[in-house]
Amino acid sequence: MPRLVSERTVLDALAAGQSTLEVPAGALVTALARDTAKAQGLTFVTGSGASAPTPADPVRPPSAPVKTLAVGCDHGGFDIKDALVAHAASLGWTVTDVGTHSTDSVDYPDFAYAVARLVHLGRVQYGLMIDGVGVGSAMVANKVPGVRAALCPDVFSAYNAKAHNDANVLTLGSRTMGVEVCKRVLAEFLAVPFEGGRHAKRVAKILDVEARFLPGAEGTV
């Protein structure tokens, strides 16, 4: 039995006609695996035969204080960062600024990680990272478990990222977007709620895929 119990593990057990699935001590059980097992009547048990406790979701950040935002940038995004921090504050958000604090050349992965880390730890509700184009920062942030970062060059992209994908980090490009466009995109991102419904299962599948690559999940890829 792998140390990760994913939706695939549950479906394989059901296909084999099982009504219970033994879960090793310390195994990671994804949210989608739990939901699928509950819906299909499959019970998780430990080696002793007792019902297995529900482990913490390894890729879903803990609940964060509402209306809290981490903001970061590299030297390419510095010129518009202060304007976006002020805009978020005017909308009632408490901002944690992780830098950079000048136009001196820096490496965007350092600041994208700092933003994503705060989201992962549940210290903030959302993150914002600005670099020259926004692509590199999204790549970095998406390496952090529990983070769903989206580069949104327009308002509709921001709406879709939040409403359908439950994004929790927004990346922007200072060299491809004007500051006023960035303000509108940020406002949309912060205002739109996740719609849930049919989108919830798809987001759960994102988390399920991510969990397969966590330590202890060897053999489940």
Active site residues: 164
> Rounded to whole angstroms, how far apart are CA atoms 182 and 163?
18
Token reading at 24: 């090793």
> How far is the CA of 98 from the CAs of 70, 178, 205, in angstroms?
7, 22, 31
Helix (H, G, I), strand (E, B) or coil at 22: strand
Strands (DSSP E) contained in the chain are: 4-5, 20-22, 28-29, 43-45, 68-73, 94-97, 126-131, 149-151, 169-173
Pair 47, 25: CB distance under 8 Å:
yes
CB burial of residue 145 (10 Å; 0-12, 13-18, 19+): middle
Q: What is the DSSP letter of 39?
A: H
Residue matched to tokens 């006609």: 17
Q: Helix %, strand %, coil % for the chain, to 5?
A: 40, 15, 45
